Amino acid sequence: MAECTNSTLEVLTNKLTQQLAVIYADVELDISYQSLAFSLIQTMRLSEQDEPPAPYSNHWSEQDVVMITYGDSLLKENEKPLVTLQHFADNYLQDHINSIHILPFFPYSSDDGFSVIDYSSVNEALGDWGDITAIANKKRLMSDLVINHCSSRSLWFDNFVKGEGQGHDYFFTASPHDELSQVVRPRTSQLLRKTETAKGEQYVWCTFSHDQVDLDFRNPEVLSQFVKIIRLYLDNGVRIFRMDAVAFLWKIAGTPSINLPQTHEVVRLLRTLIEHAQPDAVIITETNIPNTQNLTYFGNANEAHCIYNFSLPPLLINTLITGNCLYLKRWLMSMPPAQDGTTYFNFIASHDGIGLRPAEGLLSDQEISLLINTMKNFGGAISWRTSESGEQKAYEMNISLFDALQGTVNGPDKWGMQRFICAHIIMLGLEGIPGIYIHSLLGTRNDYEKLKNTHHNRAINRHRWNYEALEQQLADETNPHANVLKQMLTLIDIRTAQKAFHPNATQFTLHLGLNLFGFWRQSQDRRQSIFCITNVTDQTQELPISELNLIITEHWVDLISGQNFDDLTQAIELAPYQTVWISNRGD
């Protein structure tokens, strides 16, 4: 390791030492905080040139859009899936989308990648590190850091069972007699997994499934291993880290074991190390929890750079199937603007289902029941969890977004395509960075065959395309998948050209009744304004332009349709699910 100057080393070591003291305040360690801090610095190979970025720096712009995909969402015979993904990006994404989130691409045993067997290698069925870095050389690469748990088939867990070797003390155990009634979990399985080991019978903590065994961060060696993993990912081109299920990382019997102070401090410490090693790297925390809890992961702009806007999917879908934007508007009004150095990660579809916990306290029980029943009628499945009181509660709705928006609470109708595109237009205009699932980009429908074969509800929205068949469909302009892709890329191009759509540009909610959902964006230099207004109903709605108080000396145009507004006293007729982006700079 190159020598750090004393001042650089002292400042960084002191900061890490303080963070470690918070994390391990109640844990007896065999190593001093300072020695552990310096060991982590060595692991990250930090040198005197590795300065942290200036505080409150935005490492993103209006040009950032992320496509979310599995490494094998596209399959071509006799070709590595990661190579096929690269071809898709080269041929279709081109300059439209600049970032790709490849969901866990490591060897795994279950949960489509989120039960990692080996963090240091690429799943041979997908490709190798060379294929990963090839993608990273052309797109900003986002990768999962599956930090809460690993596979029960990992070498670490094998050694835990043997009672010797690396990993023998990496896992969190508890007693069935401990006070565990308060523990918050997203699943219905038993929390503790009974395991026979060389040291006798032990009960391993499993937040998610018994194949996903929770790691014990009370052991600083676990932290050290993940710092090594982060360094490896940086070396291979990863620039955005999605910290999977991080809210559950620290556990204490007798508590809910979620969002504990030690968890927040671990995120801060990892950010300190990452931003010294790669100043433009970004941390995104995946915390699928009620909205107020989710917001705490911003810290004071010293934890996550971005947090997932988990409340957006259920609220937006609820709006479009009911034709009433009350709940969506209330939520948007309550959301604090992200300070510089932080922003939201917006999405409305992902490899997981549409989470309902983030809607708790935002939608009434009646609205949630109506939403669930509507998704069931559209072919969706429902996943359940055990609540703190022991009752079964709906955790998420499993359905492709295209099918989720095929109709309203009254049933399917002819407006499915318009409603689907409408949802994305709303998301593309909101404060934050948009993430678009590959199956939304392609308008993929529910995969009932995969659901039947796997018996896993989430499989319904994890289709694998035959790439050659997909290419044929995308070459046919009359094909609905080609139509979706064309419309989506066109809208993305419009968005990425507008400074008022910078993730940190000003945003205010407009009050236009319950049938029209609107918000106003203004660029950071205050030169561009965009009024984003959507008809969320299946009926034509009228919008008097005078209600927007547009500056009369400016020239106003709808960026989507190209319509000019010279008479500011006129009214606009908005077709069902039509959006206008009325801007004073349409060039």
Kindly indicate the confidence band of residue 136, based on its pLDDT and cuts at 50, 70 and 90.
very high
Give the three-class secondary structure for 426. helix
What are the counts of helices (DSSP H) followed by strands (DSSP E) for the chain?
17, 27
pLDDT tens-digit series, residues 304-356:
999 999 999 999 999 999 999 999 999 999 999 999 999 999 999 999 989 99
Please choose, from the candidates 64, 44, 60, the residue with its C-alpha nearest in 3D space to the C-alpha of residue 52. Answer: 44
Give the three-class secondary structure for 516. strand
Q: Which residues are catalytic?
A: 244
**pLDDT at res. 138:** 98
**pLDDT at res. 336:** 95
Q: d(Cα 304, Cα 295) in Å, to the nearest integer?
A: 10
Who's near 7: CB < 8 A, 6+ residues apart? none
Q: Tell me whether residue 149 is annotated as binding.
A: yes
Q: Counting every residue, how long is the chain?
A: 587
Cα-based distances in Å from 341 to 235, 282, 306, 335, 455: 24, 10, 9, 17, 42
Q: d(Cα 392, Cα 186) in Å, to the nearest integer?
A: 11
β 411-412/407-408 pair status: antiparallel
Give the three-class secondary structure for 402. helix
**pLDDT at res. 1:** 44
Q: Tell me whether residue 352 is annotated as binding.
A: yes
Q: Tell me whether residue 242 is annotated as binding.
A: yes
End-to-end CA distance of the chain: 51
Place of tokens 């100057």: 5
Residue type, 481: H
Q: How many Cβ atoms from other residues are within 10 Å of residue 120's Cβ? A: 13
Please choose, from the candidates 304, 236, 298, 248, the residue with its C-alpha nearest in 3D space to the C-alpha of residue 275. Answer: 304
For residue 234 the two structure tokens come to 């940086």
Q: Tell me whether residue 357 is annotated as binding.
A: no
Q: What are phi and psi of 27, to 5 degrees?
A: -125, 135
For residue 360 the two structure tokens come to 């708790």
| pTM for the whole structure | 0.95
pLDDT tens-digit series, residues 48-87:
677 777 889 999 999 999 999 999 999 999 999 999 999 9
Place of tokens 């023998």: 168
pLDDT tens-digit series, residues 520-530:
999 999 999 99
Domains of the chain from N-terminus onward? 506-583 (2.60.40.1180)
Q: Tell me whether residue 340 is annotated as binding.
A: no
**pLDDT at res. 475:** 97
Q: Tell me whether residue 567 is annotated as binding.
A: no
The share of the chain scoring above pLDDT 90, in percent, equals 89
Q: Tell me whether residue 153 is annotated as binding.
A: no
β 392-398/381-386 pair status: antiparallel
Judge contact between 169 and 27, C-beta under 8 A.
no
pLDDT tens-digit series, residues 274-302:
999 999 999 999 998 888 999 999 999 99
Rounded mean pLDDT, 421-427: 98
pLDDT tens-digit series, residues 224-252:
999 999 999 999 999 999 999 999 999 99
**384 pLDDT above the threshold of 90:** no
For residue 148 the two structure tokens come to 């809460």
